[in-house]
Structures are given as C-alpha cells and as structure tokens.
Structure 1
Amino acid sequence: MRRGAIIAALVLSGCITAGAPAQADIPIDGARVFPESLTMDSAGNLYNSSSLGTIYRTVPGGTKAEPWIVPNAENGLTSLFGVLADERHGVLWACNNPGFGGPPAPGAVSSVKAFDLKTGAYKASYAFPAGKPAACNDIAVAKDGAVWANDTSAGRLFYLPEGGNALVLFAEGPELVGVDGTAFAEDGTLYINNVRKNLFQRVDRKPDGSYAGLTDLKLNDTLNGPDGLRPLGGNRFLQAEGPGGRIALIEVHGDSATVTPVKTGLESSPSIAWIGRTGYATEGKIAYLFDPALKDKDPGTFYIRSFPLPDGL
C-alpha cells in the first residue's frame, strides 16, 4: 500500500490516529523556563532551550528535564530560542539572543553557539552582524555540512560553511521578516515557515545556488503561528504551531503541501521532537511573558508533553 494511502486510512476527524502508547509527560526542573525549542539525539536524549539561557537535558529513562548547560562568563548564554542536536558534527547548536525584559546590554548580539553534544562543553560562538535588531530563531544542517540559522526580526538567512569560522549572509529581505522554522528536505531543498504571516515556503535558488526568492506553498489548511520544523525524510516534516496548539505533518507536493494534524490541544507549543514512536512538544506558556494580565503571575511547572506518533510516519 502506498504511504499516502496509509496516512489517509489513519486520519480520523482531521487528526491522525495513534499507533503506540506515549511515554509520560516530562516536567522541566526550573522556574520560568519558557522553553522555545526541543531537539533529540539517537541515544534518546532530549534537549530543550529556555528564556533564561539554560539548556536542559532529559536522559533516556529520566523523569525530568534537568539543567545541563548553564549560563556563565565563558559561554555567554543569555536567552535561548532554537536548539539542534547535530550528530554529524558532534555538536549541540543553540540560538542565543539578548535577554528578555528590557533593552539589551551594550554590545549584546544574537549568535549561534556550539557545545559538545556528549559533554556539554562550550566550543564556539558565531555572532550575527551587529547594527540591526536580530533574533536567531532556528537552526538546520544542510547535506554539505553547512549549518544554517535564521533571523526572525531582520528577515535574514545565514549559514556557517563546513569548517568555517564566521556566518555568511545568504539572503535578506522584507519577505523573510517573520521566518521561523527552518529545515531541509531529503533532496537538499530548504523550507521555512513564517510565524507572522502563517506561511509555509520554499527557498528558491538560482542555478549558481544563490537566493532566488520564496515560493508560498498552497496549503489545504490554515496555519496558526507555525514555529518549530523538523524533517522526517523525503518531502515530509513535522511542524509545531504555538498559537494553534498543534503538531502537524506537512507533506510537500511541488508548489503545494498537505497539512495533517498529529496532535492538537497543546498549550502554546513552539517545538517538536520524537524518540521512537513517541512525540514530544514543549509547553511554552508564552502568554505569561507578554500578556499584562499574566505577566507577573507564576506560570507553574513547565512540561514537555508526550503523545503517541501515528503509524505511517
């Protein structure tokens, strides 16, 4: 049976049915964590970012996400968005940004930071060019080993060449303002979503590989705050939607894509990861940062929510 037919058979009331029981939800051992991103490695570790700069790790069989890499003078961590476990390079990449809650400190810039994936030891930092408001949001690794990062605020795409020591600007423009999730399809095509415009887009290139603009893919469903984006192989991705509170399967077909809900009813879910047949989504509780009615209230414990992944993924 074709995979598309399998997926269709699993759809029930707009949501794919589950194929295996999920593991327990995972509490994050920290206060006011506000996790923006989540990633996993083949050993079964989960890593999540936090608004105060700590990277948490949940080890296989662990019952909570514990502080693993904490801010210090050497690593310069302040506030984290995207994290990505890159086993090809043995690196945990992290998008670091000036802290929330006031103007940035003098000289503060967004950057991509590298940590040893096994030990958590600090390795390097690659700063975004100064002079513009910036927000490093998400990271992806290309087939050639280049590490890509986006800038939501200024609408830019950067890459760190294999063996390079500085970020290279690939594209910049108003059409990229709001870029969020970033991931490569199996054929090397780069796809992004836009959290402000609720778009899923292909990054087009000229024959020489340079930037040729964006193609807005036609979707069968409306997106609501698309955020974290992870490749599944082929032209398939799992996408988190924070305001929409859902995880969805995105399947690209040329200039269109189908959106199939995998998990709904989440609370401000900006990211997605999976281990085996279990999916995980961070609970962002972002309203406690920006809603005047909630800003000074205790958001309580933050959880990484678990759910069974459907057969066919």
Structure 2
Amino acid sequence: MKKTKLKIAIAGAALVVAVATGAALAVNGSAAGSGSTSGAEQTRTEQAKQKTPSVIKADGANVFPHSLDFDARSNTFFAGSLKHGTVSAVSPDGKVRTLIDDPELVSAQAVLVDRERNRVLVSNVDYGTADRSKKDAPFRVAGVGSYDLESGKQDWCVDLTALTLDGKKHLISDVTVAPDGTAYAVDELTPTVFRIDRNGRASVFLRNDLLKGTLDIPDFLNDVGMSAVEWVKGNQLIIAMADGSLVRVPVKHPEKAQEVKLSAPLGSPTAGMRLLKDGSIAAVSSGLLTGKPAQIQRVEPHDGWKKATVKVTDTVEDPATSDVTAGPDGTTYALSGGLADLLAGKPNDGFSLTPVKTD
C-alpha cells in the first residue's frame, strides 16, 4: 500500500570470529587459491543477512488495522484499529500495546505521525463492524483526532459531518499534513477534501466532481472514491482514487485540480501511499476484488506532478494488504491487517508487516 536492526552484540561477535578465522587462514596459508571463503567475506555475508528485513508478525489479536505509520525516533509503528477504535504502538519484534483509547473514536482508519508537533493524527470512521459502531447506521461518522505521541491524550477530535450536514454517507479514508501543520483529510464517499488547522478548526477545502467515486465493491460499497492523500513538494496534494487514477491539487489554487497523466493506471482498488525521500510515491493496490496478490507500485513524477510513470516493484501474497509505510533503516513495509476476516465477522490472532521493494 508498507528491518530488523543490526544487533550490535551479535555483529561484534561475528567480527571477532571472522578476524580470528582470517588470521588462522593466513597462518595456514589456505586463504588463497583453496576455494575457501575469507574471514572478511564471511563477515560481509553475515552482516547482509542480519540487515535483511523480515516479516513482522504483530500479536494484536482482533485489532484489524487498515493503516499505519512509522516513527523513526522511537523505532515504532502506529496502527489504527477498525474493530476497537484504538491506536496501537507496534515494536519491530511484533509486540503491541494500546496508545490511544478515545471513546470518541469509533473506528481508527488513517494514522499519521507528525513528529514535529509530537502528535498522531487519526481519522474516525464507522463501517458498522466496530465495538462502538451504530450497526444500523454505518458510514455516518467522519472526523479527525489529534493525540499526544507519547501519552495518547487527546488534543482535539473534530466532527467533519457537522460541516456538511448533507445526510450522506462519509468515510475519511486518509489524512496528510503540510509543513505548517495544516492537515488535509479526504472523504472516500463524497468528493470533499477537508482542511484542519493545528488547533482542530476545520473547513471544507475543496469539493470537485473530479474526486467523485466510480468504483463499486460488490455487497459492500458503491461509488468509492478518494482512498489516500500525500502532501508533496510544490505545495500540492496528490490524491489516489480507488479506481487507480491520481489527482493533483495545488493547495493555493485548489480550483485548478487536475488528473495526473499516468504512464499506466495504478492497480484498483488503490488502498494506501507512502511518500519516498526522492519525491516519488510508493502505492499499494489491494487484490480485494480479484483475489490476486496485492501490488506495490512506484509512481515517479514529471513536470511538477502533471505526469507520472508507474511501475510495479513488488507484490504481497495477501490480497487484502491495505497500506505502505516507512520502516527502520530506510525500509518500506506493507500492512496486511486481516480485513477480510473483519468483513466476514471472523476473529484473527494478529496482523503482519511485510518488507517490500519500492524501486
């Protein structure tokens, strides 16, 4: 849509063994011309193995996360729970603890770490499947909350349906933040982008038919639209549509929103995105409708995001993989949160983060 750190003690031990082995080989005259691997080569091989990231099996039973984000300073992932409405801190060894448990959150979908302001932004949704859901009135909750990154205490939680009062279904699928701290949230079920300042004051930023949903998910949702959003260089929002298209929105002139000309459409439904260091985007497309492995795609911009090149860089076996995020040491992980079980009303024993290639 998403590394294990080198253990110093082990690496040190490996180095000692390698040096000793190399010395022994030199004394015995067997280091050259014998077909043996030198001590230095053994060390490099061992270090490469240790740096290779592995799948993280998180022990959060029945958490069912759709999205997550990574905080490099604390070396921690933060994942929202569609089932419990909580946000969990996940360590690279898969240990899970609840950080945010706010009664105002029905289901926690999008999760964004804003380290500069020491907060976590969380989108509030309701699929009708959560512990706090109104079972007979799904998709009537739409909001964004801000929480302290260390304590999980609420700063504010804004109800975005109060701005629309349209009686329609809403689903805040994702949220991004600009350098000045302004947050932008996208509604998957109406063509509306919301702006929220650092104090939680919200307004409608953009309504545009270009953002209308066109994808139907049989027996679940119709007219699914915006699925993910990223703030990018040039003060622009790049919005992923579930149908595999991208829309570019200049923040200072949102009325000039236009579709990005892609070399090929993203896989559909597009589920999550991650902004890479070089300004490209890694996107994950779920295999929810096809049953095929989820696709990881790299989107490289041209001409200020008026155009972009799309290429598949990896796949994840679980079709319902729904997000991608940074990870330790420059890695990228994809999230498989067990969403198929959630929709089927089945329990599960946790979720997984799979390291993926982005180039």
Query: Is 1:103 aligned to 2:136, yes or no?
Result: yes
Q: State how far apart, in whole Å, the 2-side matches of 1:308 and 1:277 are.
A: 11
Q: State how far apart, in whole Å, the 1-side matches of 2:339 and 2:148 are.
A: 29
Query: Is 1:42 aligned to 2:72, yes or no?
Result: yes
- Matched AA of 1:248: Q
Classify 1:233/1:277 alpha carbon distance in 2 versus 1 (closer, same or farther; 3 Å): closer
Aligned to 1:253, which of 292, 295, 302? Answer: 302
Whether the 8 Å CA contact 1:250–1:258 is kept in 2: the answer is yes
SS in 2 for 1:109: coil
Q: State how far apart, in whole Å, the 2-side matches of 1:51 and 1:37 are.
A: 9
**Structure 2: which 5+ runs fail to align?**
1-50, 130-134, 213-224, 288-292
Q: State how far apart, in whole Å, the 2-side matches of 1:135 and 1:286 are.
A: 16
Whether the 8 Å CA contact 2:244–2:265 is kept in 1: the answer is no
Query: Offset at 1:39?
Result: 0.2
Alignment of 1:172-211 (within 5 A): 172-177=207-212, 178-195=225-242, 197-204=243-250, 209-211=253-255
- Matched AA of 1:263: D
Post-superposition Cα deviations, 1:143-190, rounded to whole Å, max 9, x if no partner, equal: 332111111111210111344x42111111332130111002222221
Q: State how far apart, in whole Å, the 2-side matches of 1:191 and 1:116 are.
A: 27
Larger radius of gyration: 2
Query: Offset at 1:251?
Result: 0.8
Query: Offset at 1:289?
Result: 4.1
- What RMSD over aligned residues (CA atoms) do the two structures have, in Å? 2.6
SS in 2 for 1:63: coil
Aligned to 1:83, which of 111, 114, 118? Answer: 111
SS in 2 for 1:175: helix
Work out the percentage of aligned pairs sharing the same amino acid.
20
State the match for 1:136 in structure 2: 172
Whether the 8 Å CA contact 2:187–2:193 is kept in 1: the answer is yes
Whether the 8 Å CA contact 1:204–1:214 is kept in 2: the answer is no
Alignment of 1:265-280 (within 5 A): 265-267=316-318, 268-275=320-327, 276-280=329-333
Q: TM-score, normalised by structure 2?
A: 0.70
**Structure 1: which 5+ runs fail to align?**
1-19
Q: State how far apart, in whole Å, the 2-side matches of 1:211 and 1:144 are.
A: 21
Whether the 8 Å CA contact 2:120–2:149 is kept in 1: the answer is yes
Whether the 8 Å CA contact 2:247–2:257 is kept in 1: the answer is no
Q: State how far apart, in whole Å, the 2-side matches of 1:168 and 1:236 are.
A: 29
State the match for 1:29 in structure 2: 60
Task: Name the structure where strand makes up a greater proportion of residues.
Answer: 1
Q: State how far apart, in whole Å, the 1-side matches of 2:198 and 2:145 are.
A: 15
